[in-house]
Amino acid sequence: MQYTFLICSERSGSNLITSLMSGHPQFSGPPPTHMFRLFGLNSGHYLPFDHAARRRFLADFHAARATILGDWNTSFSLEELEGVCGQSQSMASAFDFMYRRECASEGASRAFVKENHTYRFVPFLLDHWPGARFVFQVRDPRDVAASWVKTSSVPGGVAKAVSVWCADQSETLDLLCDPQLSARTVQIRYEDLIQRPTEVLSGVCHNLGVDFDAGMLCAHQNPRTAKTAKQVDAWSNLGRPVMSGNSGNYGSVLTADDVLYIELKCATLMKRFGYTAQNDVDSMGAEEQERMLASLEERLSPGRSERPMSDDEVKRRERRLALISRIIEPPAVRS
């Protein structure tokens, strides 16, 4: 099974690039399961991977699949999963079984996978899928924070958005110091994607060894994508064509204090990715910056929701959180 994994912070266009890639005839980009992260970070709970651990893993895997937020074209029973993967010596077989089935439903041969905090479990991915490729997408942290503030399903406001954005980019750049990983990773900016989608997607496709397909720009018409856009508040824009003007709008959401705080915290990384600060943060000394940050922290915008989650989405998220809490418990505690 051929996988391309996305490395991208939340509220940075991760669902957009996934849906666009799914518009390519060779790729299937279903809604995220976040199961690579869940099981990759907790794979030690199933070691040694003997018969009992394998049965426990497959049961947990099937339960996790049942709690994902978006709808896939395909599904499977625990009996089917055990029938195909019950004797396998690797967790990879369960993922391959699930993604092969979904790819087949669309006539695709490759999977494009969105995850959060991908850098945390890249070793797990490369151990199980040594041929994996990666797309690293970044977005202006000010727009990320603005989107974060407006989205009910990602609480924490500006402070949390900045903390996550900085950690995601810093840790990923550290990973990409490895030339072997860097060579299999293509880096793009969200702003370039929405302003020059054909050019950017052509570059991504070339890096992944396929030709660009114009159908990628019509991915919003895919029935699965359209249905998902209606189910999850944070994914509502997926039902629309690429929104070329959806950048630099943070000023209508964030306060001047928010923007200054973000630019102080993210200055080095913003320069690394070509984002220009509107405040002259470079003229401040280190002590002045620290005093300013401490003062600004008390006035940052908290998270709010312009469109509260539906009751159905709330229930879906509650079921998923309960399942995750159970899986991350060490086996000794669970029993």
pLDDT in tens, 278-299: 999 999 999 999 999 999 999 9
- How many CB atoms are located within 10 Å of the residue 283 CB? 7
User: What is residue 231's predicted lDDT score, i.e. its pLDDT?
Assistant: 58
Helices (H), 86-156: 92-105, 122-128, 141-150
pLDDT at 245: 79
pTM: 0.91
Of 295, 246, 255, 301, nearest in space to 278 by CA? 255
Instruction: Spell out the domains of the chain, with CATH numbers in brackets.
Output: 2-141+158-245+305-334 (3.40.50)
Percentage of the chain lying above the pLDDT 70 cut: 92
Q: What pLDDT digit, counting tens, does each position of 242-277 carry?
A: 878 789 999 999 999 999 999 999 999 999 999 999
Q: What token pair was written down for 117? A: 């905090």
CA 187/CA 175 separation, integer angstroms:
13
Mean pLDDT of 105-117: 96
CB atoms within 10 A of CB 1: 17
What is the rounded CA–CA span in Å between residue 312 and residue 268? 41
